[in-house]
């Protein structure tokens, strides 16, 4: 019997040991390793539980979403380890400052959250702003990054965890856009904006298959002959109620929703079908299309584009694909594969926003890029500011020495056009020549000119 009792005791001890290990593993899985606060997964579960309890008891739950101000500049100046030290110390201060029953979490990066049942929302938010603004000593330096707070309250603002988080994030964005170091509560203005956005999202999803997103065109002018030699393709949304919408009204949303690739493909196919007869009739030589960095990160992008182009009547040699330096910096090896594959099929590649980064000339020396587009930010003061004019002239000379064609975009005044032409810029586009226009208007302008012609002296 004694032997049996000993075995039972050993078994009980082992069970207790395994249970303790399980609890430790579970706790570690729910804990942020840097700050010791609960992580995003545990926060989501905790928020749902708090809402269920408040729903049953008829109470309220406030969600405070926190984002540090200028945290990136701290990382850049002092290094990531210093940033980690700040996050760990801030996590400790938020834990010490927590009211009874509150759940404090690190959501990731420099984002934190507090779930609270505090009756005075404003007082709690102000207290959080004060905590975030306290000074820290990092590597002997005094650091006070500060932070912004967005607040949403259940059930006043939202009836579930998903909307509560979304509304708190909207309030946070409003606080940060106001300069930071402040808090903002979800309100009627933000609710109206949320409902308008939700409606627009649904309309955008419907607009793509309905063909409401269509290509518009802006002419590209030969600087020496003042004749139209090409067009740049731009997307427009012909909304049935709001009228014509520019890309800024829907492209950012399309990127967030993962719809930008579908839009790009639809606009590309429609643009090729429209411009192929213009090229065949000798009205233009070049059709230039923009490609989003997200599309370019797809390893199969160039093959897919070549396949889609092959189904149209537009010659590959007439197509120019515009890429930004951002993509080159993200993945130079992938950029090289795409550019070389396109160039091998006769497709031209243009580097957009030329002059805004640091590695443009290096890219021109090592990649088969045929064209650069001089960024509009450099065009604004040419012909008026001597230093800017000298800089642009030097950039034009450097690009020409590499055998690269230059297109200046954003030309709005005659003085800019005259300076760029005298400095050797080969092609230009901008409001001085013509604004973006529909396919019908573009074709009418081309054919009225009896070929690719548009005098420099004529502006729209």
User: In the beta sheet, which residues pair with residue 113?
Assistant: 65, 105
The answer, yes or no, to whether residue 112 has pLDDT greater than 90, is yes
Cα 246-248-254 angle, rounded to 5 deg: 105
Q: Alpha-carbon distance 132 to 110, whole Å?
A: 12
Half-sphere exposure for 439 (CA within 13 Å, toward CB): 17
Q: Averaged over 437-441, what is the pLDDT? A: 96
Output the DSSP codes for 146-172: -EEEEEEEETTT-SSHHHHHHHHHHHH
* Nearest-angstrom CA–CA distance, 158 and 65: 15
Answer whether residue 404 shows pLDDT above 90.
no
Give the whole-angstrom CA distance, residue 437 versus residue 439: 7
Residues linked to residue 415 through DSSP beta bridges, in sequence order: none
Cis peptide leading into residue 155 (ω within 30°): yes
Q: How far is CA 128 from the centre of its chain?
A: 29
Does the pLDDT value for residue 227 go beyond 80? yes
Q: What is the mean pLDDT of residues 148-169?
A: 96
CB atoms within 10 A of CB 458: 10
Q: What per-residue confidence (pLDDT) applies to 405?
A: 87
Q: Is the pLDDT of residue 100 over 80?
A: yes
Question: Which helix (H) or strand (E) element contains residue 73?
Answer: helix 71-78
Task: Tokens for 227, please give them.
Answer: 């004749």
The number of CA neighbours under 13 Å toward the Cβ of 240 is 9
Q: Are 43 and 112 in contact (CB under 8 A)?
A: no
Question: Rounded mean pLDDT of the chain?
Answer: 87
Single pTM value for the model: 0.70
The residue-averaged pLDDT of 137-160 equals 89
* DSSP 8-state class, residue 422: H
**What secondary structure does DSSP assign to 163-213, as a single string?**
HHHHHHHHHHHHHHHTTSS-EEE--HHHHHHHHHHHHHHHHHHHHHHHT-E
| Range from 130-144, 390-404, 416-430 that averages highest in pLDDT | 416-430
Looking at residue 98, what DSSP letter applies?
P
Residue-wise pLDDT for 231-262, tens only, equals: 999 999 999 999 999 999 999 899 888 898 89
% of residues, the chain, pLDDT over 70: 88
pLDDT digits (tens, 9 = 90+) for 348-396: 999 887 766 554 566 666 778 888 888 787 888 787 778 888 888 888 8
- For 207-220, the pLDDT digits (tens) are 999 999 999 999 99
**451 by DSSP, 3-state: which?**
coil
Please report the DSSP string for 14-53 in residue order: HHHHHHHHHHHHHHHHTB-TTT-SB-HHHHHHHHHHHHHH
- CA 2 to the chain's CA centroid: 71
CA dihedral 406, 412, 417, 423 (to 10 degrees): -50
The C-alpha atoms of residue 278 and residue 220 are separated, in whole angstroms, by 14
**Cα–Cα distance, 279 to 276 (Å, whole number):** 5
């Amino acid at each position: 019997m004694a032997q049996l009792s000993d075995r039972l005791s050993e078994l009980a001890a082992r069970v207790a040991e395994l249970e303790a290990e399980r609890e430790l593993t579970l706790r570690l899985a729910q804990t942020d390793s840097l700050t010791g606060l609960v992580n995003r997964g545990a926060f989501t579960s905790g928020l749902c539980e708090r809402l269920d309890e408040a729903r049953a008891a008829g109470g309220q739950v406030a969600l405070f979403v926190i984002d540090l101000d200028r945290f990136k500049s701290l990382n850049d100046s002092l290094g990531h380890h210093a940033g980690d030290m700040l996050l760990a110390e801030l996590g400790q201060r938020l834990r010490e400052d927590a009211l009874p029953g509150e759940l404090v979490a690190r959501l990731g990066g420099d984002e934190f959250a507090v779930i609270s049942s505090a009756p005075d929302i404003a007082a709690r938010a102000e207290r959080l702003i004060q905590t975030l603004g306290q000074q820290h000593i990092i590597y002997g330096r005094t650091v006070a990054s500060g932070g912004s707070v967005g607040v949403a309250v259940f059930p006043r603002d939202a009836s579930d965890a998903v909307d509560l988080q979304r509304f708190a994030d909207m309030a946070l964005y409003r606080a940060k856009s106001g300069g930071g170091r402040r808090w903002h509560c979800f309100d009627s203005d933000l609710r109206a904006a949320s409902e308008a956005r939700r409606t627009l999202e649904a309309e955008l999803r419907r607009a793509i298959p309905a063909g409401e997103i269509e290509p518009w065109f802006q002419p590209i002018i030969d600087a020496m002959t003042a004749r139209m030699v090409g067009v740049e393709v731009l997307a427009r949304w012909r909304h049935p109620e709001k009228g014509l919408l520019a890309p800024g009204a829907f492209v950012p949303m399309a990127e967030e929703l993962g719809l930008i690739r579908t839009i790009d493909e639809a606009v590309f196919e429609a643009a090729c079908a429209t411009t192929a007869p213009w090229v065949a009739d000798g009205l233009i030589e070049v059709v230039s299309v923009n490609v989003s960095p997200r599309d370019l990160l797809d390893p199969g992008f160039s093959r897919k584009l070549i396949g889609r182009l092959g189904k149209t009547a537009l010659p590959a040699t007439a197509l120019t694909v515009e890429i930004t330096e951002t993509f080159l910096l993200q993945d130079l090896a992938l950029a090289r594969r795409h550019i070389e594959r396109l160039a091998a099929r006769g497709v031209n590649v243009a580097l957009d926003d030329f002059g805004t980064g640091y590695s443009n000339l290096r890219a021109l020396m090592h990649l088969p890029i045929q064209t650069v587009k001089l960024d509009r930010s450099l065009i604004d003061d040419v012909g008026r500011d001597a230093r800017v004019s000298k800089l642009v002239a030097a950039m034009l000379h450097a690009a020409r020495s590499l055998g690269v064609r230059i297109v200046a975009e954003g030309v709005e005044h005659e003085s800019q056009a005259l300076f760029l032409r005298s400095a050797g810029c080969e092609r230009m586009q901008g409001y001085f020549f013509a604004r973006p226009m529909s396919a019908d208007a573009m074709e009418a302008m081309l054919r009225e000119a009896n070929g690719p012609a548009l005098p420099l002296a004529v502006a729209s």
